[in-house]
Chain A
Amino acid sequence: MTPLPSTAPTLAEQVCQGNVRAIARLISQVEREEPSAQAEIAALYPHTGRAHIIGVTGAPGTGKSSLVNELAKELRRRGKTVAIVAVDPSSPFTGGALLGDRVRMRDLAGDKGIFIRSMASRGRLGGLARSTAGVIKVLDAAAYHTILIETVGAGQAEVDIASAAHSTIVIEAPGLGDEVQSIKAGILEIADILVVNKADHPNSQRTVKSLEMMLHFGSTRQMVRHHGEMMLADDGHALTNATNPDWEVKVYETVATASQGIDKVVDALEAHLVYLQTSGEWHEREKVRGRQEVEQLLQALVLRQLQATVSPVEREQLIAAVAEREMDPYAAANHLFTHLNH
């Protein structure tokens, strides 16, 4: 007699029904990269693609957690359910992490329309953890309207968020040394919305003016993509995010700890969402996200294949040869690579 199929709902099914325990459990499986997670993600993938994914990045000390806390409160007031993923750095020496972002979000406690998950970066350097993309899918399938991702905040190399999110907020704060931290290459350019937090600081106007000046003088890039086609940008045009020439990046001032200026930022987020959906940029962003993720997964597969086909002993012998100058690194890498193709 054939056994009856199990009638217990799968994790993926429970996630789509909004079961909080299942959501948390599946996120853990995704984070631990358990083989079972792949099947669950595959099952819930058709239910993703609806959430508005918002990245919040900026140097440490700019007030990211406080801003995320305030944005979530305002979004809730406007009837949206909100999931928050807060990423903090793992110690490169011990592998451990102190995940303290929940401390700033006590206002959100007890609200069933909010889900908060802390993640350690686990060695990844771009501002997000390797499994953050998978975690976002779980929350998307669980039907949260908005997913706020708060990045590690190393500041300068935080490029992960730009391809993981639909809308990226870059936060600055006055009095942190350099006039404008985010002008350091890469960060200013990824912003869809710029926020100067701690705007009650005496130097805040200098920071605001510096940013506005940068925006006024235009993009350093000569070519921008417009509806998928490369075009020359006008000189002296308002700085637009290099891939979204129709969206004007503006500076907003907030004092997150006093709940000031938050409504305007949320208005801007809503406006950006409308822009993405009406301009076709939403689809472009989804392609960027998809490409990024597939490439990442592929790299992980190749590495795993390598580890499976080349013995650690042989690998260590090669490394020793490289260290002893008996073999150069290129030769060693090529040698390992040829093993992959067998």
Chain B
Amino acid sequence: MDERKIRILIAKPGLDGHDRGAKVIARALRDAGMEVIYTGLRQTPEMVVEAALHEDVDAIGLSILSGAHNALVPRIMELMAEADLNDVPVFLGGIVPEDDIVALKAKGVAGIFGPGTSTDIIAEKIRERVLGERV
């Protein structure tokens, strides 16, 4: 009957001043048929993981513009492990230099989308990762 709905958390950890990009992604994913839980600005890693826990999301999208990804992302993944949320893929968007991408992927980040990445591609990658693993 109904195709399984994907629930995804879009979060803005850290001190970014605006969320234009995150909102564009949130709307695009909604238009792709997903249920997007949007947290708003200035989330701590604890708040992000608490939301992921309550909402039992299929995936997490982190939007970080401030350059603080090297501090925030590992901390979030640490808290997720503590909360037994290891099976939830984490995607990262925003401003992430090439040099950091390899290290972040080694830490388990499922995908990193730089500015200008097609939202269709983002939706497809998320769907692949979430539904592919459901088989």
Task: List residues of chain A with CB under 8 Å of any chain B CB.
Answer: 20-21, 24-25, 27-28, 32, 90-91, 94-100, 102-103, 106, 109-110, 115-118, 120, 122, 307
A24 touches B55 (CB 8 A): yes
Contacts of B27 in A (CB 8 A): 98
The verdict on B37 contacting chain A, using a C-beta distance below 8 Å, is: yes
**B61 CB to closest chain A CB, in angstroms?**
13
**B101 CB to closest chain A CB, in angstroms?**
28
A20 touches B5 (CB 8 A): no
Contacts of A102 in B (CB 8 A): 37-40, 51
Q: Give the distance in Å from the alpha carbon of A15 to the alpha carbon of B39 in the complex.
A: 25
Contacts of A96 in B (CB 8 A): 29-36
A28 touches B56 (CB 8 A): yes
B40 touches A98 (CB 8 A): no
Contact of A109 among B26, B29, B46, B84 (CB under 8 A): B46
Contact of A110 among B30, B35, B42, B47 (CB under 8 A): B47
Q: Give the distance in Å from the alpha carbon of A32 to the alpha carbon of B5 in the complex.
A: 8
Seed contacts A24-B53, A94-B32, A120-B5; 17 additional CB < 8 Å A-B pairs:
A20-B54, A21-B83, A21-B84, A28-B56, A90-B35, A96-B29, A96-B30, A96-B36, A97-B30, A97-B36, A99-B37, A103-B38, A103-B40, A106-B42, A110-B47, A110-B50, A120-B35
Q: Is the contact region of chain B dominated by helix, strand, or loop, or is it mixed? A: mixed
B56 touches A99 (CB 8 A): no
**B77 CB to closest chain A CB, in angstroms?**
17
- Quick one: which of A100, A102, A122 has the most chain B CB within 10 A? A102
Residue of B nearest to A23 (CB): B54
B5 touches A122 (CB 8 A): yes
User: Which 6 residue pairs of A and B lie closest in terms of their CB atoms, listed nearest first?
Assistant: A103-B40, A96-B30, A24-B56, A28-B56, A109-B47, A96-B33
Q: Give the distance in Å from the alpha carbon of A91 to the alpha carbon of B84 in the complex.
A: 32
Q: Give the distance in Å from the alpha carbon of A3 to the alpha carbon of B31 in the complex.
A: 49
Q: Give the distance in Å from the alpha carbon of A52 to the alpha carbon of B51 in the complex.
A: 24
B47 touches A106 (CB 8 A): yes
Contacts of B30 in A (CB 8 A): 91, 94, 96-98
Contacts of A91 in B (CB 8 A): 30-31
A32 touches B50 (CB 8 A): no
A21 touches B37 (CB 8 A): no
Q: Give the distance in Å from the alpha carbon of A341 to the alpha carbon of B98 in the complex.
A: 65
Name the interface residues of B32-88: CB closer than 8 Å to any CB of A.
32-40, 42, 44, 46-47, 50-51, 53-56, 83-84
**A199 CB to closest chain B CB, in angstroms?**
25
Of the A-B pairs whose beta carbons lie under 8 Å apart in the complex, a sample of 15, sorted by A's number, is A24-B54, A24-B56, A90-B35, A96-B32, A96-B34, A98-B36, A98-B38, A99-B36, A102-B37, A102-B39, A110-B46, A115-B54, A116-B54, A117-B55, A120-B5
A27 touches B40 (CB 8 A): no
Contact of B50 among A97, A109, A120 (CB under 8 A): A109
Contacts of A103 in B (CB 8 A): 38-40
The verdict on B20 contacting chain A, using a C-beta distance below 8 Å, is: no
Contacts of B29 in A (CB 8 A): 96
B38 touches A100 (CB 8 A): yes
Contacts of A90 in B (CB 8 A): 35
A98 touches B4 (CB 8 A): no
Contacts of A27 in B (CB 8 A): 56
Q: Give the distance in Å from the alpha carbon of A78 to the alpha carbon of B61 in the complex.
A: 36
A32 touches B36 (CB 8 A): no
Contacts of A307 in B (CB 8 A): 1
Contacts of B46 in A (CB 8 A): 109-110
Q: Give the distance in Å from the alpha carbon of A215 to the alpha carbon of B4 in the complex.
A: 46
